[in-house]
Amino acid sequence: MTVPRFWRKQQSRYNLIGTTCSTCGQYFYPPRNFCPECRRDGKINEHKFKGTGKVVTYSIIRSASDQFSLLTPYVIAIIELDEGCRLTSQVICEIDAVYIGMPVKQTFRRLGTDGGSGAIFYGTKFIPA
Amino acid sequence: MVGIISYGAYIPRYRIRVEEIARVWGANGTEISKGLGVYEKSLPDLDEDTATISVEAARAALARRTVDPGEIKAVYVGSESHPYAVKPTAATVGEAIGATPVMTAADYEFACKAGTAAVQTCMGLVKSGMIPYGIAIGADIAQGEPGDALEYTAAAGGAALIIGNRDPIADLNYTCSYTTDTPDFWRREGKPFPRHGGRFTGDPGYFKHVLGSSRMLLSDLGTKPGDYDYAVFHQPNGKFPVRAADILGFSREQIKPGLVVPYLGNTYSGASMVGLCATLDIARPGDRIFMTSYGSGAGGDSFDITVTDVIDSDQFNRDAAPTVADMLKDKKMVDYAVYAKHKGKVVMME
């Protein structure tokens, strides 16, 4: 990932900052600047998520791309935040400990690096709550 | 009075036993463990480093007390293992706690006492009225060369203190430092592991500066070890802080809550500050705490601290973040092979 591309979404990745539409009450992460339901009637505001939610479904990754091969086996899950929207993230736990409905909370981790001398990308992952 | 507004610590879940490290190098693990007074040590997860530990510690401090991140005008991170040689960890922490952009920030390095140097800087800024709050962090994923004596103790963890003067949970009554140019331990630019002077790290290093700084504080304030409820010393192993306490006249009971090294290891810049957090986890209003950190190179920072009524008030929620004891109990043991992978000691082809 290029440095500018990551940096543009940095605040959102560090602090789970998304958006909400005050017209219909929907929450969005990653942030949207347009409500697909309300369209021109939508009023979009920034929203910092509480950082807690539950696992909707998950997959165990045993064969990963080179950058993530040291992490295997690891859990990738769709997480529903308490506010209602869903996102995909790694859940840091034993692979036999994860289950559908497991409560999770946010944690701050390295998401990746651009090789041995490039930038380090940080952001949000989840751990059991 | 300037003091600690809130505190938080973070310890990664992974642990390795000293005996397991000794097994790999053909050494007597039982003797080494007993000699060091250290039984196991923490290590980081594959995606943890000094920045992630610092952020988690800072967020734990903010969870315990409502502080507007926008009022945190200074962030200092002390460490020997900043992820970048050039690019501040403190800026990442500031961004991750919502304190940016109107703040000053810098990374500190003074071996194991860079965190307490950050506390002193924040004290000065708050006391002079330049900032309402500052956050001082000491954190490390400590380095120790495979097979070297340091490998048995070099651990991962850190602590954050929010410093301010609006109803602190603990008053920072006084601080003083004792510093000389003593090459007892160092890491050269670009080198992955530190080197040290063996036993030289003891007498002209640790003891001269810990005792020098501690005695200076007791003399300056006219206090005696018996005037304090608790004492925390830098803890590179389980023996040095106990010996320093004995020489100064502090009892085993006074140092017990803050002596976390036997089951944590030496978290370098985090060591004395994690010990202070463990002590604040159980402290009551009115308790007086003595703390001296030590950084090779070499220097000691001493602090006289009094816990206030605020720690038990509605303004502060100690239970909003895990205690040091909680984090020490929540652990996953690994063998040396997994440890080597986590510490980046397994070199992969790019």
Tens digits of residue pLDDT in B85-128:
999 999 999 999 999 999 999 999 999 999 999 999 999 999 99
The answer to whether B74 touches B105, Cβ cutoff 8 Å, is yes
pLDDT confidence of residue B154: 97
Residues B9-14, mean pLDDT to the nearest whole number: 98
* Predicted local confidence at residue B118, as pLDDT: 98
Q: Hey, are the CB atoms on B96 and A111 less than 8 Å from each other?
A: no
Pair B23, B336: CB distance under 8 Å: yes
Say yes or no: do domains B3-169+314-342 and B170-310 share a fold: yes
Can you name the CATH fold of B3-169+314-342?
Answer: Peroxisomal Thiolase; Chain A, domain 1 (3.40.47)
3-class SS of residue B271: helix
When pLDDT is cut at 50, 70 and 90, the band that residue B350 belongs to is low
A56 and chain B in contact, CB less than 8 A: no
| B46 confidence band (pLDDT: 50, 70, 90) | very high
Confirm or reject contact between B287 and chain A (CB < 8 A): no
Verify whether the Cβ–Cβ distance B348 to A70 is below 8 Å.
yes
Nearest to B98 by CA among B130, B73, B64: B73
ipTM for the complex shown: 0.95
Which one-letter DSSP state was computed for residue B86? S
The answer to whether B155 touches B39, Cβ cutoff 8 Å, is no
Distances (CA, A) of A72 to A90, B45, B340: 11, 12, 15
Measured in whole angstroms, how far is the alpha carbon of residue B257 from the centre of its chain? Answer: 14
The answer to whether B52 contacts A116, with C-beta atoms less than 8 Å apart, is no
Own/partner contacts of B190-194, CB < 8 Å, gap of 24 or more, are: B192/B143, B192/B145, B193/B143, B193/B144, B193/B145, B193/B148, B193/B150, B194/B80, B194/B143, B194/B144, B194/B145, B194/B150
Using CB atoms, pick whichever of A14, A92, A115 lies closest to residue B96: A14
Q: Looking up tokens 């041995």, which residue turns up?
A: A116
* CA atoms of B277 and B311, how far apart (whole Å): 13
Q: For residue A115, what pLDDT band results from cuts at 50, 70 and 90?
A: confident
Where do the DSSP E strands lie in chain A?
17-21, 27-28, 44-48, 52-61, 74-81, 86-91, 103-113, 120-128
- Nearest residue on chain A to B54, judged by CA atoms? A108
Q: What is the mean pLDDT of chain B?
A: 96
Mean pLDDT value of segment A108-118: 93
- The CA distance from A40 to the nearest CA of chain B, in Å, is 31
DSSP B149-199: GGGGTB-EEEEEEEEESSS-SEEEEEEEEEEEEE-SEE--TT-SS-EE-GG
Q: Tell me which residue of B185, B121, B151, B136 sits closest to B27, measured CA to CA.
A: B151
- C-alpha to C-alpha distance for B234 and B269, rounded to whole angstroms: 9
**pLDDT digit string, tens, across residues B242-282:** 999 999 999 999 999 999 999 999 999 999 999 999 999 99
Which residues of chain B are within 8 Å of residue A111 when distances are taken between CB atoms? 47
- Is B48 an interface residue toward A (CB < 8 Å)? yes
Cβ atoms < 10 Å from Cβ of A112: 15
Distance of residue A82 Cα from the nearest chain B Cα, in angstroms: 18
By annotation, the residues of B acting in catalysis are 80, 112, 234
CATH number for the segment(s) B170-310: 3.40.47.10
d(CA A28, CA A18) in angstroms, rounded, equals 6
Residue B347 reports pLDDT greater than 80: no
B344 pLDDT above the threshold of 90? no
Cβ–Cβ under 8 Å, residues B196 and B150: yes
**Interface check A70 vs B, CB under 8 A:** yes
**B59–A contact, CB cutoff 8 A:** yes
The verdict on a CB contact (< 8 Å) between B96 and A125 is no
- Where does the pLDDT of residue B346 fall: very low under 50, low under 70, confident under 90, or very high at 90 and above? confident
CB atoms A108 and B52 under 8 Å:
yes
pLDDT digits (tens, 9 = 90+) for B201-256: 888 999 999 999 999 999 999 999 999 999 999 999 999 999 999 999 999 999 99
For every residue of B101-120, which 3-state class applies, written as one string? CCCEEEEECECECHHHHHHH
Cα-only R_g, chain B:
19
Question: Band of the pLDDT at B200, cuts 50, 70, 90?
Answer: confident
Query: What integer pLDDT is reported at residue B75 of this predicted model?
Result: 98
* Mode of pairing for the β-strands spanning A86-91 and A74-81: antiparallel
Higher pLDDT, B67 or A67: B67
B47–A125 CB contact, under 8 Å: yes
Interface membership of A120 toward B (CB under 8 Å): yes
d(CA B8, CA B213): 25
Amino acid at B244: A
Domain boundaries, chain B: 3-169+314-342, 170-310
Q: Tokens 């003593």 identify what position?
A: B182
Q: What is the percent of chain A with per-residue pLDDT over 70, rounded to a whole number? A: 100
- Contact at 8 Å (CB) between B187 and B138? no
Model confidence at B17, in pLDDT bands (50, 70, 90)? very high
Cis peptide before B159 (omega within 30 of 0): no
* A109 to B96: CB separation less than 8 angstroms, yes or no: no
